[in-house]
Structure 1
Amino acid sequence: MPFMKGIEPIRRTLKYLQQGRLVLKDNIHIFSINYNTSGRTHSGIRGFIFWHLAQVQFKNPEVQVITFKNMTPSPFIQCYYENGKKMLIDVDDKDKDEIMDHLVKVVGKSKELLAREAELREKKDNPANFGYGCDKSCMCTVPGQVPCPQVVPLPNHYRGKFKWYQNNV
């Protein structure tokens, strides 16, 4: 498997990408990171990019993520909103976990909002759903399906015990 080569190949697995905690708010369109490739104060943001940037991109496919290297004396993250406003987040001398916690708190969606969106995504009004809490209680109420064996007995050739275990029927 060629994707399991290189440093820390765990970062390229689907399970790892799905475990990302940062889901950006809907009105953020661009997420830019400015840092240097050397320097002690930039080590936290380099760790964030190494470990968490792929998760952020995976969880936010509609957001443009940009990294600018070696263009600034101090590291920062800038978020651009759809109404033209910008938010500047200073990440100078913070480690990767502090940066992630701060971003989740400031520009991330809350856990309650994520739970509500997941519930709405389930689409309980799908006509293919049946059972308790749905429009149809049983599959036999759908036109073209076999009626319930409770109401109308199944023909013998539909039943396995007559088909395979009875020789003289």
Structure 2
Amino acid sequence: MPLKGRFPIRRTLQYLSQGDVVFKDSVKVMTVNYNTHGELGEGARKFVFFNIPQIQYKNPWVQIMLFKNMTPTPFLRFYLDSGEQVLVDVETKSNKEIMEHVKKILGKNECCPAVVPLPRELTGKFQAALRAGAQD
């Protein structure tokens, strides 16, 4: 893949896999409302430009919709499978602060086996090898 266009690094597999936000299974839709002009939405614009591709890569089951210039203040809205909605105000926040906040409220725990691999002694292959060695 040629590295052409604006910030082609965003399309590399290494960059996409660096995203650390993996949503809980209850998150179904994420909407981002932001403005293309103004200082209050600078963090939201950078979040959309740099972090949304990482979130899409790590969460392929989540539908992400972007709304430009429809509201005076930028915000995120998450729709959960229970019908509940979570509203996150991102006005005057940087893209890193937005990522940390979203990870804290709707991200999976760090110790989740889907995010962090289990220790070797807790895997089934290791347990089976121990049992086979004990029978000999």
Q: TM-score, normalised by structure 1?
A: 0.69
Partner of 1:95: 94
Give the 3 Å change call, closer, same or farther, for CA 114–31 of structure 1 in structure 2.
farther
Q: 1:112 to 1:77 in 2, by over 3 A?
A: same
Paired amino acid for 1:103: V
Gaps of 5+ in 2: none
Equivalent residue number for residue 11 of structure 1? 10
Percent of aligned positions that are identical: 42
In the alignment, what sits opposite 2:26?
27
Kept after mapping to 1: 8 A contact 2:110/2:116: no
User: 2:78 is matched with which residue?
Assistant: 79
Separation in 2, partners of 1:137, 1:51: 49
Q: Determine the C-alpha separation between the residues in 1 that align with 2:115 and 2:96.
A: 26
TM-align CA RMSD: 2.3
Structure 2 CA distance for aligned equivalents of residues 83 and 69 of structure 1 = 27
Secondary structure of the corresponding residue to residue 48 of structure 2: helix
Give the CA deviation at 1:105: 0.7
Q: Which runs of 4+ in 1 moved over 4 A?
A: 114-117, 135-138
- Structure 1 alignment gaps of length 5 or more: 139-169
Q: What pairs with 1:7-156 in structure 2 (closer than 5 Å)?
A: 7-114=6-113, 118-119=117-118, 124-125=123-124, 133-135=127-129
How much does 1:55 deviate?
Answer: 0.4
1:9 Cα deviation (Å)?
Answer: 1.2
Largest Rg, 1 or 2:
1
Q: State the AA in 1 paired with 2:63.
A: Q
In structure 1, the residue corresponding to 2:111 is in which secondary structure?
A: helix
Q: Aligned AA for 1:45?
A: A
Matched letter for residue 77 of structure 1: L
CA distance in 2, matches of 1:101, 1:45: 13
- Structure 2 distance, partners of 1:115, 1:63, is 16
**TM-score normalised per structure 2:** 0.85
Map of 1:145 onto structure 2 = none
SS in 1 for 2:5: coil
State how far apart, in whole Å, the 2-side matches of 1:44 and 1:54 are.
15
